[in-house]
C-alpha cells in the first residue's frame, strides 16, 4: 500500500525538462539573429575587459551585481545594446560570472586554471532569457508539434520540435550550431508514463547493445546501432576535404560546418536510438535492474600505465570506442528519469560485489572469465551466453533485494 502511494507521488512529480527546437528564420530574421549574437558577444567581451581593468587599476574584483547595475547605463548610452532584452543581457553577464567562478574553483583545487577568455564571434555560441514573456514567447503548434517562437528584436520565427509532455515554459536559450539556429526551452512538466508488468535485468555489451533477462527465463536483445562506424566514412571524407582548404577561407568555413553537421547528426541519431529503446523498456517493465556503470574503468584501462602496461591496446581501444559510442551512461540516465516518471522500481546492482559478468546465475558461484570468453560454462551444468548470464544475475539480485522471488530457479538466490 505504501509502495503504491509512493509510486503515485512519483507519477505526479514536477520535473524540469529541456526541449530543443530548430528555428527556421526568414532571411531578414537570420540577419537579426546574427546581429543579436554579435551584440551579446560584444557585451560578454566588454564585461570581461571591465573585470580585468578593474582588477588591474584598482585591485577591485567586480561582481555580477556590479556589472548588472552598470548594464543599465550601458544600455542607455550605446544603441547596439538597446535592441537587446535587459534580462537576456543579464544572462550573458551571468555566464561570464560562471566562467570566473569556475576559474577560481580550478585555482583553489590547484589545477591548471584557464583564465576566462575573450570570445571570437565564431566561438560565441548563443544567449538566453530568464522569464517566459520577457523577451521571448513560445506558442506550441497542434498536438505539441512544432510551433512559433517570438523573440524581441527579431520577430516571430517558425520552429520545429516536439515536447513529449508540454509544460509551463520557464527559460529559453538560443544557440547556433553548425550554421543552424536552435532554441532550448526549459519546461516545468508533470510527465506521466505507463509502466509494464515485467521485471527485467539488463546487461550491455560490445557485441550486443543490450541483453534483457526476464523472470520467466526468456531473453530479448537490442542490437548495437553502430552509428559511429556508419558515420565514419562520411566523416573521414569531410575531414580530408577540410584539410585541403586554406586557413581563414570561406570554403574552409563551409567545410568545417559540414564536419560539425555530421557529428551533430550522429549525436542526434544516437540520442534518438537511446530514447526509443529506453521508452520501450519502460513500457513493458515494472522493475528494472542494471549494473552500476564501469565504462570509465573499461576505457581507461586499455593503455595501462608504466608498471602495468596494457595488453592488446589497439584492439581494446577500438572496443572502448565502441562502448563509448553506444553511450550506456546516457542510456542509463534516460532509463532512470523515465523509470521515475512511470513509478518503476529502478535497482542499481553494485558490480564490484555482485560481479554479474563473473557469477553463475544458476549456482551463484563466481566463475572468472576474460572479456574474450563469450560463453558462460559452469560446473553446475549451466551453459549460456555471457551477456544472458550477466543479465540474469542482475535480475535475480534485484528480485531478491526487493523481496520478490524469481518464478523459476529459486536455488539461484538461496546464497
Ligand atoms: Zn553454476
Over the stretch 255-308, which tens digit does the pLDDT of each residue have?
Answer: 888 888 887 887 778 888 888 999 999 999 999 999 877 654 444 444 444 444
Mean pLDDT on 297-326: 48
Q: What's residue 318's pLDDT? A: 52
Q: Across-strand partners of 156?
A: 150
Q: Kind and range of the H or E element at 243?
A: helix 227-244
Residues 360 and 345 in one domain: yes
What pLDDT sits at residue 327? 66
* Mean pLDDT for the stretch of residues 229-255: 83
Contact partners, residue 255, CB within 8 Å, separation at least 6: 238, 241, 242, 245
Distance CA 278, CA 285 (A): 11
Residues 251 and 325 placed together within one structural domain of the fold: yes
Cell 537576456: give the residue: 88
CA of 295 to the centre of ligand 1 (A): 26
Of 171, 155, 161, 159, the residue nearest 31 (C-alpha): 155
**69 and 108 assigned to the same domain:** yes
**How many Å lie between the centroid of ligand 1 and the Cα of residue 346?**
26
Q: How far is the CA of 394 from the centre of ligand 1 (A)?
A: 15
Non-local (6+) Cβ contacts of 35 within 8 A are 83
Distance 414 CA to ligand 1 centre (A): 13
Q: Could you tell me the distance, in angstroms and rounded to a whole number, from the CA of residue 367 to the centre of ligand 1?
A: 8
CB 223 within 8 A of CB 209: yes
| Residue 208 CA, ligand 1 centroid: distance in Å | 23
Domain-ending residue, one of 142, 165, 189: 189
Ligand 1 center to 383 CA (angstroms): 8
**DSSP annotation string for 272-331:** HHHHHHHHHHHHHEEEEEEEPP-HHHHHHTTTB-SSSB-SSHHHHHHHHHHHHHH-HHHH
Q: Tell me how far the alpha carbon of residue 396 lies from the centroid of ligand 1, in angstroms.
A: 14
Task: Please give the distance, rounded to the nearest whole angstrom, from the Cα atom of residue 363 to the centre of ligand 1.
Answer: 4
Task: Looking at the structure, tell me whether residues 361 and 232 fall in a common domain.
Answer: yes
Grid cell 538566453 — which residue? 128
In Å, how far are 84, 281, 323, 381, 388 from 332, measured between CA atoms?
A: 40, 12, 14, 33, 19
Q: Whole-number mean pLDDT of the chain?
A: 83
Report how far ligand 1's centroid is from the alpha carbon of 365 (Å): 6
Ligand 1 mean position, distance from CA 165 (Å): 46
Distance between Cα 377 and ligand 1 center (Å): 8
Are 14 and 34 found together in one domain?
no
**Confidence band, pLDDT 50/70/90 cuts, at residue 323:** very low
State the total domains in the chain.
3
Q: Binning pLDDT at 50, 70 and 90, where does residue 31 land?
A: very high
Among 317, 169, 179, 174, which Cα is nearest to 253's?
179
Asked whether residue 163 falls in the same domain as residue 97, the answer is no
Same structural domain, 145 and 50: no
Distance 1 CA to ligand 1 centre (A): 37
Instruction: Pick the closest to residue 236 from 270, 262, 267, 264 (CA basis).
Output: 262
pLDDT in tens, 55-78: 888 888 899 999 999 888 888 888
Considering only CA atoms, which of 217, 223, 44, 41 is closest in space to residue 124? 41
Q: Which residue has the higher pLDDT, 258 or 24?
A: 24
Cα–ligand 1 centroid distance for 393 (angstroms): 11
The rounded Å distance from CA 284 to ligand 1 centre is 29
Residue 170 and residue 69 share a domain: no
Query: What does 53-121 look like in DSSP terms, one character per residue?
Result: HHHHHH-----HHHHHHHHHHHHHH-HHHHTS-HHHHHHHHHHHHHHHHHHHHHHHTT--PPPP----T
Hey, what's the cell of 223?
Answer: 542490437
Same domain, 45 and 109: yes
Give the structural domain span for 262. Answer: 198-413
Query: Is 134 in the same domain as 253?
Result: no
Q: Are residues 47 and 184 in the same domain?
A: no
| Spatial distance between the Cα atoms of 396 and 361, rounded to a whole number of angstroms | 8
Q: How far, in Å, are 44, 86, 91 from residue 131 at the CA level?
A: 20, 11, 11
Whether residues 19 and 158 fall in one domain: yes
Rounded to the nearest angstrom, the distance between the alpha carbon of 368 and the centre of ligand 1 is 12
Residue position matching grid coordinates 515554459 = 169
Report how far ligand 1's centroid is from the alpha carbon of 361 (Å).
7
Return the SS3 of 264.
Answer: helix
pLDDT reading at 93 higher than 90: yes
Amino acid at each position: 500500500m505504501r509502495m503504491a502511494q509512493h509510486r503515485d507521488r512519483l507519477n505526479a512529480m514536477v520535473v524540469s525538462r529541456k526541449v530543443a527546437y530548430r528555428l527556421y528564420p526568414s532571411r531578414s530574421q537570420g540577419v537579426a539573429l546574427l546581429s543579436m549574437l554579435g551584440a551579446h558577444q560584444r557585451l560578454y567581451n566588454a564585461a570581461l575587459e571591465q573585470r580585468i581593468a578593474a582588477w588591474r587599476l584598482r585591485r577591485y574584483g567586480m561582481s555580477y551585481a556590479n556589472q548588472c547595475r552598470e548594464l543599465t547605463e550601458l544600455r542607455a548610452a550605446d544603441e547596439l545594446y538597446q535592441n537587446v532584452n535587459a534580462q537576456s543581457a543579464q544572462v550573458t553577464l551571468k555566464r561570464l560570472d560562471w566562467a570566473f567562478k569556475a576559474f577560481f574553483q580550478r585555482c583553489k583545487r590547484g589545477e591548471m586554471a584557464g583564465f576566462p577568455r575573450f570570445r571570437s564571434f565564431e566561438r560565441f555560441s548563443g544567449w538566453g532569457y530568464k522569464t517566459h514573456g520577457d523577451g521571448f514567447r513560445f506558442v506550441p503548434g497542434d498536438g505539441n508539434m512544432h510551433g512559433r517562437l517570438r523573440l524581441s528584436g527579431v520577430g516571430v520565427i517558425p520552429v520545429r520540435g516536439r515536447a513529449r509532455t508540454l509544460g509551463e515554459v520557464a527559460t529559453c536559450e538560443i544557440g547556433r550550431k553548425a550554421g543552424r539556429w536552435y532554441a532550448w526551452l526549459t519546461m516545468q512538466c508533470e510527465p506521466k508514463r505507463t509502466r509494464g508488468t515485467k521485471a527485467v535485468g539488463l546487461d550491455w555489451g560490445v557485441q550486443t547493445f543490450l541483453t534483457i533477462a526476464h523472470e520467466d527465463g526468456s531473453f530479448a536483445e537490442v542490437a548495437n546501432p553502430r552509428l559511429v562506424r556508419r558515420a565514419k566514412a562520411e566523416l573521414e571524407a569531410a575531414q580530408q576535404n577540410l584539410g585541403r582548404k586554406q586557413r581563414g577561407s570561406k570554403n574552409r568555413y563551409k567545410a568545417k560546418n559540414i564536419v560539425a553537421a555530421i557529428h551533430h547528426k550522429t549525436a542526434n541519431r544516437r540520442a534518438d536510438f537511446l530514447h526509443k529503446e529506453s521508452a520501450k523498456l519502460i513500457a513493458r517493465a515494472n522493475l528494472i535492474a542494471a549494473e552500476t556503470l564501469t565504462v570509465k574503468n573499461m576505457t581507461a584501462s586499455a593503455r595501462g600505465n608504466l608498471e602495468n602496461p596494457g595488453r592488446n591496446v589497439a584492439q581494446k581501444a577500438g572496443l572502448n570506442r565502441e562502448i563509448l559510442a553506444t553511450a550506456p551512461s546516457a542510456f542509463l540516465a534516460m532509463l532512470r528519469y523515465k523509470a521515475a516518471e512511470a513509478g518503476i522500481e529502478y535497482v542499481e546492482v553494485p558490480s564490484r560485489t555482485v560481479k554479474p559478468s563473473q557469477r553463475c546465475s544458476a549456482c551463484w558461484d563466481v566463475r572468472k572469465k576474460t572479456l574474450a570468453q563469450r560463453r558462460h560454462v559452469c560446473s553446475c551444468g549451466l551453459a549460456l551466453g555471457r551477456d544472458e548470464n550477466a543479465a540474469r544475475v542482475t535480475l535475480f539480485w534485484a528480485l531478491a533485494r526487493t523481496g520478490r522471488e524469481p518464478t523459476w530457479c529459486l536455488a539461484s538466490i538461496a546464497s
